Amino acid sequence: MSEKKKDVLLSIGASLLCIVIGLFVGLIILFCINSENAIDGFIRIVKGGFYLAPKGIGSEISQAAPLIMTGLSVAFAFKTGLFNIGAAGQYTVGVFGALFFGIILHMPWYVCLLAAMVFGAIWGAVPGFFKAYFNVNEVITSIMFNWIGLYLVNELMYNTIKGMYDQKTTRTYKLSAVSPQSVIPDLGMNSIFKTSSTTIAIFIAIAIAIIMYIILNMTTFGYELKACGFNKDAAKYAGINEKRNIVLSMTISGALAGIGAGLYYLSGAAEWNPQVATALPAIGFNGIPVALLALSNPIGVVFAAIFVAHISVGGSYLPTKYYQPEIADFIVAVIIYLCAFVMLFKGIVMNLLRKKTKKSEHAGKEVK
Amino acid sequence: MENDYIIEMLNITKEFPGIKANDNITLQLKRGEIHALLGENGAGKSTLMSILFGLYQPTSGVIKKDGKEVQINTPNDANDLNIGMVHQHFKLVECFSVLDNIILGVEPTKGIFLEKKGARQKVMELSDKYGLMVDPDALVSDITVGMQQRTEILKMLYRDNEVLIFDEPTAVLTPQEIEELMKIMKNLAKEGKSILFITHKLNEIMEVADRCTILRKGKYVGTVDVKNTTKEELSKMMVGRNVNFSVDKKPATPGETVLKVEHMVVPSKAHANNAVKDISFNVRKGEIVCIAGIDGNGQSEFVQGLTGLEKMSSGKITFNGKDITNATIREKSKLGMSHIPEDRHKHGLVLDYSLEQNMVLQRYYEPQFQNAGFIKTKEVRKYAEKLIEQYDVRSGQGPITIARSMSGGNQQKAIIAREIDKNPELLVAVQPTRGLDVGAIEYIHSQLVAQRDSGKAVLLVSLELDEVMDVSDRILVMYEGELVGQLDPKKITVEELGLYMAGAKRDEVPAEV
Ligand SMILES: Nc1ncnc2c1ncn2[C@@H]1O[C@H](COP(=O)(O)OP(=O)(O)OP(=O)(O)O)[C@@H](O)[C@H]1O
Ligand SMILES: [Mg+2]
């Protein structure tokens, strides 16, 4: 078996181990809170969307799409040695881009999606610019830009731009009502899953994941980006324009998060509530565990995001009588964040494998 | 009965993907001896020592300490058995002081607080006893490589290690520092320490070692008493053929000027003065010009200023008649300037890339290797295979080997292959043969001469006096950031060169020849 294949298998093994441990800890928490219903609750979580098929599957799909994008956003930056903790902010600004072009300008969905992408890209580019030219740590700028983005978007939607905020619902206007052409087509999926927001977004997300994989692994651009990520000095020595690549990497990273926002809000899954939205959207932050669980592999991100969406949907089916919604969120968060320890487990799996092969060698010798 | 051997490694085999790095090797270390380990690049020396230090587990074989079989699973186990190691690439914490690095991992404490007073005293005592001069409060990032190494040695002594492993300790030292290290090692042996010493420099073996074990391609060749052998015999056992220690070359026939440096000034990062102070010279087609000097006299900064890794503060560089003072690294590379960097891990390689990816580090964007932004993997593979074959770069899995897993010397060979194969107008080679075995050095030197003979220019920066004298056609001596002498290697002696390098003698250096 080639080294590369072995490494891929090892990574998958480690990710699966993480998931198992995360689920196990989740089960223990369920027991601690309410032991009678723990098993039932656990089954609901594990079944995820399948617990309430087909509707649950539909909502799982519609949640997975933006998660894939924010996961890709974080993973792409990781590959180039940057930590984009600002995916949440880029996502938020992307929401504004999508909804402004939809609700106000009545543009078709693909234009709105492009707008979300461009808005997110700009929000990613700024921290990248500061990092490249002033050596300001991207983590700090990204976090600042998360909050700047959030309050700016709230202000714009609530006050500055008339016609986005609906006083009656205290949310932005429903896209399907005010601008149906801005809604991403569902190709009949909504009727299959009996949902209202299961669209082709998931296919767009998967296609972008594949494109990212190709860019990172087959192009000179990806070669440059990864070289910068692995060894800045060697990249400089090779004549690679490191500053430009940092800016580009953060720009693309932001664009990916922005697309995530577009895919979610243009599917009609939700409306933005500027008054309540004083916390950054979880989908933005969950990109981090998704990227970690996938070990920054774009294809891995697809599966990791689907898993996280699966568990989240499952958590929402916990009976609220025994488990308050906060508890459900908490358990899901524990499972997801334990998954972020995947690197640690990769080492453990490697040691286990080594011991095993050694043992079998010894066994082999004795037989001889 | 008291056992003669403090360490025995018996029938050690270690397999890596695609390669048996150690194949049934036996090594016995006597108490109080200096035992050299010799072998070509990739012969498995570092691997064998890493096994003894607990970094790798042998696939099969037995290790004995004082005649008793032991299991060494981690470096901590090795430490418990009083085995210490100075690695080929140091492992110090840059932002810690020397003292903190020495006590790291075995910190003396009083309650929950560090108790450094006793530690400091012990370190100072050790440093006096063995002549290991260090400043315990200096930050590691500020001290010379030589002092970093002494810190590593003190680290071992502080832990009362009695088996000391040195993996190529002299590769990064100046000749003066090497002298000093040789003395220290003899001292240590006299005090009863047992030393395992890897080096490619046969002179060093002849000078300090009692016995020498030779490996070839992972296999054990033999162990010899150093007093009963010669350099030639050692190199023959190691390479399997006679090695020519001197460089064969015809007199140079220099042509037009390729590189012209005028009044170059480069600031220093370490201090407020300039590292390079107003130097001017030229390099012509068909000659090898060598910049000689004691390490730290501005050579590194000069090269970085020339190649574009750092900015120079004033001066002018002309390359084949074109002003390249403000050209980018990429532009210089495209114009035909090639650079074998001083620090292979920092600049020369992307260690997490495969060997083939590293082979195109400077050329991945050329039409030969990409089409519309897509890398032509087949072409890259073919090209890498060609270079690997031609320069005998050894690794476990050929082109797809991750550079990090290659032996130090083979990493260096890969860089040299890549840079020379660009067939540059000017090859800037800094310490190109650092860490290479004698066979490889012979080959690389012949390649530098071949490059010259095909009408290209070579600018060599070297600390090795032998290399300076043998390879170059013209020597420029650098002292405290200035050029203090232009010498003809055929007309001067090593002693004279030494006087210039020490700043005891200086001439005017003409800006152009
Ligand atoms: N961690 C590793 N994974 C895979 N292969 C390895 C690893 N370490 C060493 N090797 C391979 O084992 C062989 C021996 O390497 P080693 O570093 O022991 O050589 P060496 O004798 O120290 O050479 P040098 O003089 O160049 O330092 C090399 O071919 C190298 O590619
Ligand atoms: Mg080695």
Contact list in B for residue A233 (CB cut-off 8 A) is: 346-347
Domain assignment present for residue A142? The answer is yes
| Euclidean distance between CA atoms A89 and A70, whole angstroms | 11
Residue B8, H or E segment: strand B5-16
- From A221, A231, A238, residue closest to B362, measured CB to CB: A238
For residue B423, what pLDDT is reported?
A: 92
pLDDT higher than 80, residue A170: yes
Domain assignment present for residue A353? The answer is no
Outline where chain A has alpha helix (H). Answer: 3-33, 38-47, 55-79, 87-99, 109-134, 138-155, 175-178, 189-193, 201-218, 220-230, 232-237, 242-265, 282-293, 298-316, 325-339, 342-367
Domain assignment present for residue A208? The answer is yes
Q: Is the distance from CB of A221 to CB of A215 less than 8 angstroms? A: yes
pLDDT higher than 80, residue B112: no
Subunit contact B350:A220, Cβ cutoff 8 A: no
Distance from CA of A231 to the nearest CA of B (A): 6
Based on the domain organization, do B58 and B169 belong to the same domain?
yes
Subunit contact B309:A236, Cβ cutoff 8 A: yes
Q: What is the DSSP string of B268-336?
A: -SSSSSEEEEEEEEEEETT-EEEEE--TTSSHHHHHHHHHTSS--SEEEEEETTEE-TT--HHHHHHHT
**Residue A347: exposure state from Cβ atoms within 10 A (0-12, 13-18, ≥19):** exposed
| Euclidean distance between CA atoms B289 and B281, whole angstroms | 10
User: Which ligand has an atom closest to residue B48 CA?
Assistant: 1
Domain assignment present for residue A47? The answer is no
Residue after which a domain boundary falls, among B423, B457, B490: B423
pLDDT higher than 80, residue A325: no
- Residues of B near A (Cβ–Cβ under 8 Å) read 17, 57, 59-60, 309, 328-333, 339, 341, 346-353, 357, 361-362, 364-365, 370, 373-375, 377, 397, 400, 402
The percent of residues in chain B predicted with pLDDT above 70, rounded, is 99
Q: Provide the 10 A C-beta neighbour count for residue B311.
A: 10
- A57 three-state secondary structure: helix
- The confidence band for A361, taking pLDDT boundaries of 50, 70 and 90, is very low
Q: Which residue of chain A is at minimal alpha-carbon distance from B369?
A: A220
Contact list in B for residue A363 (CB cut-off 8 A) is: none
Pocket test for ligand 1, best of B16, B25, B352 (most atoms within 8 A of CB): B16
Q: Domain residues for A164?
A: 54-317
Say which CATH number the domain at A292 has.
Answer: 1.10.3470
Note the pLDDT tens digit of each residue in B32-90: 999 999 999 999 999 999 999 999 999 999 999 999 999 999 999 999 999 999 987 77
Span B337-361, average pLDDT: 95
Based on the domain organization, do B444 and B509 belong to the same domain?
yes
pLDDT higher than 70, residue B307: yes
Residue after which a domain boundary falls, among B423, B452, B473: B423
Q: Is the distance from CB of B161 to CB of B106 less than 8 angstroms? A: no
Query: Residue B110 contacts by C-beta under 8 Å, 6 or more apart in sequence?
Result: none
Distance from CA of A119 to the nearest CA of B (A): 26
Q: Is the distance from CB of B305 to CB of B299 less than 8 angstroms? A: no
Subunit contact A234:B361, Cβ cutoff 8 A: yes
Find the B39 Cα to ligand 2 centroid distance in Å: 9
Q: Which residues of B144-164 are buried (b: 16+ CB within 10 A; e: fewer)?
A: eebbbbbbbbbbbbbbebbbb
For residue B148, what pLDDT is reported?
A: 87
pLDDT higher than 60, residue A364: no
Q: Domain residues for B378?
A: 344-423
Based on the domain organization, do B16 and B144 belong to the same domain?
yes
Note the pLDDT tens digit of each residue in B416-445: 999 999 999 999 999 999 889 999 999 999
Based on the domain organization, do B437 and B413 belong to the same domain?
no
Say which CATH number the domain at B502 has.
Answer: 3.40.50.300
Please give all residues whose beta carbon lies within 6 A of any atom in ligand 1, as ranges: B 16, 19, 21, 39, 41-47, 394-396, 405-410
Span B341-347, average pLDDT: 91
Subunit contact B350:A234, Cβ cutoff 8 A: yes
Based on the domain organization, do B311 and B232 belong to the same domain?
no
Based on the domain organization, do B148 and B271 belong to the same domain?
no
Based on the domain organization, do B272 and B225 belong to the same domain?
no
Q: Which residue of chain B is at minimal alpha-carbon distance from A355?
A: B57
pLDDT higher than 90, residue B31: yes
Query: Residue B58 contacts by C-beta under 8 Å, 6 or more apart in sequence?
Result: B12, B13, B14, B22, B51
Q: How big is the A-B interface in CB pairs under 8 Å?
A: 71
Based on the domain organization, do B26 and B11 belong to the same domain?
yes
Note the pLDDT tens digit of each residue in A109-131: 999 999 999 999 999 999 999 99
Based on the domain organization, do B235 and B261 belong to the same domain?
no
Q: Is the distance from CB of B352 to CB of B403 less than 8 angstroms? A: yes
Atom of ligand 1 minimally distant from the CA of B43: 21
Span B286-315, average pLDDT: 93
Q: Going by CA atoms, what residue is nearest to atom 18 of ligand 1?
A: B44
Find the B411 Cα to ligand 1 centroid distance in Å: 10
pLDDT higher than 60, residue B327: yes
Note the pLDDT tens digit of each residue in A293-320: 898 999 999 999 999 899 888 888 888 8
- Lowest-confidence region among A193-197, B2-6, B434-438: B2-6
The percent of residues in chain A predicted with pLDDT above 70, rounded, is 91
Distance from CA of A43 to the nearest CA of B (A): 42
For residue B138, what pLDDT is reported?
A: 87
Subunit contact B373:A220, Cβ cutoff 8 A: yes
Interface mutation vs chain A, best among B337, B350, B404, most A CBs within 10 Å: B350
Ion ligand 2 residues within 5 Å by Cβ: B 46, 407-408
Domain assignment present for residue A15? The answer is no
Identify the sign of the CA torsion A34, A40, A46, A51: negative
- Number of domains, chain A: 1
For residue B1, what pLDDT is reported?
A: 43
Domain assignment present for residue A138? The answer is yes
Residue after which a domain boundary falls, among B239, B274, B291: B239
Based on the domain organization, do B24 and B146 belong to the same domain?
yes
Mean pLDDT across chain B: 91
pLDDT higher than 90, residue A349: no
Subunit contact A235:B350, Cβ cutoff 8 A: yes
- The confidence band for A363, taking pLDDT boundaries of 50, 70 and 90, is very low
Q: Provide the 10 A C-beta neighbour count for residue B401.
A: 25
Q: Going by CA atoms, what residue is nearest to atom 24 of ligand 1?
A: B41
Span B298-322, average pLDDT: 94
Contact list in B for residue A358 (CB cut-off 8 A) is: 57
Domain assignment present for residue A207? The answer is yes
Domain assignment present for residue A245? The answer is yes
**The Cα angle at residue B299 between residues B293 and B303, in degrees rounded to 5:** 145
- Number of domains, chain B: 3
Based on the domain organization, do B411 and B447 belong to the same domain?
no
Based on the domain organization, do B350 and B234 belong to the same domain?
no
